[in-house]
Chains A and B, each alone.
Chain A
Amino acid sequence: MEFHTRVIEDTIIAKIVGELDHHTSEDIRNQMDYLLSMNGVKNVIFDLSQLTFMDSSGVGMFMGRYKKVKALKGVPLLVSIPLSIRKLFQMSGLFNIYGECSNIEDGLNKVRRGKHE
């Protein structure tokens, strides 16, 4: 598993490449919480275009990051959820707490609009 992050304005763009399970979710959790503890950062866009596998440990990681982002009054978003993993997202209710957007640019626009609402 590889995990790439960059920060644009007050938004973390986090790309997960490979498999997300109990073993690999720990790394992501730590890195995300470090970034979310920085001043002014509050939104997250997870880019899942290269996520190849996920189980319920991944669900736990996404739920936990949602809580952190909400506590900061930020916006949590998902981009490019693979078809094979959509079933698990649907089942676990992650679509009820994360917004979905078609690409990173669209996500950043959503986050910017969110500020004026």
Chain B
Amino acid sequence: MNNKMKLEILSKSENESFARVVVSAFAAQLDPTLEEITDIKTAVSEAVTNCIIHGYENKCGIIHIQCEIIDHEVIIEIIDYGIGIGDIKRAREPLYTSKPDQERSGMGFTVMESFMDEVEVLSIPHVETKVIMKKKIINNIDI
């Protein structure tokens, strides 16, 4: 199966649940298990929260979400145009947070990495930051 969708939202925390529900509804075409849906929902929630808290530092901005289904794989791109990530390697370290005063767990990227098959992070500070996540939905593959 091949399919595509594109979503544009404002970086408001109210939209975190909206974004994860839309993406999981799109991925539902692949007939995922409940666990796979939860994994996708959680990973999307992490990426969108990062855009809001870190990318735009709670100021208003635009978040683009693009999803593609290619065969049995869902590919999710979450893009913001905020401050960006200077040191991606450090940002991806478990428990690292650039905002220790805000009670952040520093687990965002770790959650994305463990709940999805692949996570790629690309950032040009103050221009564009993109998180690309891929997950194979194995539930409906005929063996």
28 pairs of residues in contact across A and B, judged by CB atoms under 8 Å: A21-B16, A22-B13, A22-B16, A22-B45, A22-B49, A23-B13, A23-B14, A53-B42, A53-B45, A55-B49, A56-B105, A56-B106, A56-B107, A56-B108, A56-B110, A56-B111, A57-B45, A57-B104, A57-B105, A60-B104, A60-B105, A64-B103, A84-B38, A88-B111, A91-B107, A91-B110, A91-B111, A91-B114
Q: List the B side residues contacting A29 at CB < 8 Å.
A: 103
Interface of B with A (CB < 8 Å)? Answer: 13-14, 16-17, 20, 34-35, 38, 41-42, 45-46, 49, 52-53, 103-108, 110-111, 114
Q: Which B residue's beta carbon lies closest to that of A59?
A: B105
- Are A22 and B53 in contact (CB-based, < 8 A)? yes
The reply on A100 being an interface residue by CB < 8 A is no
A side interface size, CB within 8 A: 19
- Are B103 and A55 in contact (CB-based, < 8 A)? no
Q: List the B side residues contacting A23 at CB < 8 Å.
A: 13-14, 16-17
Q: A59–B13 Cα gap in the complex (Å)?
A: 17
CB proximity of A96 to chain B, nearest CB, Å:
13
Q: List the B side residues contacting A60 at CB < 8 Å.
A: 103-105, 107
Given contacts A63-B103, A91-B111, 13 further A-B contacts (CB under 8 A): A22-B49, A29-B103, A53-B38, A54-B42, A55-B46, A56-B111, A57-B49, A59-B105, A60-B103, A60-B104, A61-B103, A63-B105, A84-B34
Total residue contacts A-B, CB cutoff 8 A? 63
Q: List the A side residues contacting B111 at CB < 8 Å.
A: 55-56, 88, 91
Interface of A, secondary structure class, is helix
Q: List the A side residues contacting B106 at CB < 8 Å.
A: 56
Q: Which A residue's beta carbon lies closest to that of B102?
A: A60
Q: Which B residue's beta carbon lies closest to that of A92?
A: B107
Q: A92–B108 Cα gap in the complex (Å)?
A: 10
Q: Which A residue's beta carbon lies closest to that of B115?
A: A87
Q: List the B side residues contacting A88 at CB < 8 Å.
A: 42, 111
The reply on A10 being an interface residue by CB < 8 A is no
Q: List the A side residues contacting B42 at CB < 8 Å.
A: 53-55, 88
- Which of A56, A61, A64 has most chain B Cβ within 10 Å? A56
Q: List the A side residues contacting B103 at CB < 8 Å.
A: 29, 60-61, 63-64
